[in-house]
């Protein structure tokens, strides 16, 4: 009984390179979508400053009126200006929602324009007969 050993076929590195390029592209898009823009960070900092000022005016009450727990749960950094993960996630969700709405609007407009064009061509072909 002779055992045959299968020869390993040499594979080109093109599959690896293609996967690497696709992975880098997906990563770049994810970073672009999820990274907050400077104006969003400024808006979050302004909102946090307003909540902190309200909490300072109202003893024992935080921004939600329950109690000041922002220092206890690490909601702010040492300087009070660092956005929390919740702020960043909310900004990312809002940005994705805005871009999705814009894409849907563009898609609807393209559909309407295409439908109008097809109907015009159909009517022209129909009248030519």
Residue 60: pLDDT band with limits 50, 70, 90 = low
Range of the domain at 113: 16-128
Residue 6 belongs to some domain of the structure: no
Whether this prediction's pTM lies above 0.85 is answered by: no
Most confident listed range (43-52, 55-64, 92-101, 105-114): 105-114
Closest by CA to 55, choosing from 41, 67, 73, is 67
Residue 7 belongs to some domain of the structure: no
Residue 3 belongs to some domain of the structure: no
Residue 115 belongs to some domain of the structure: yes
Residue 10 belongs to some domain of the structure: no
Tokens of 25: 């592209």
The number of folded domains in the chain is 1
- 75-104: average pLDDT: 76
């Amino acid at each position: 009984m002779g055992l045959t050993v299968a020869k390993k076929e040499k594979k080109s590195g093109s599959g690896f390179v293609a996967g690497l390029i696709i992975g880098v592209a997906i990563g770049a898009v994810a970073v672009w979508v999820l990274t907050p823009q400077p104006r969003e960070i400024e808006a979050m900092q302004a909102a946090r400053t307003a909540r902190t000022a309200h909490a300072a005016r109202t003893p024992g009450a935080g921004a939600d009126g329950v109690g000041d727990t922002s220092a206890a749960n690490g909601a702010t950094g040492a300087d009070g200006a660092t956005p929390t993960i919740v702020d960043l996630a909310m900004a990312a969700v809002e940005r994705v929602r805005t871009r999705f709405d814009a894409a849907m609007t563009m898609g609807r407009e393209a559909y309407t324009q295409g439908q109008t064009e097809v109907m015009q061509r159909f009517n022209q072909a129909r009248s030519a007969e």
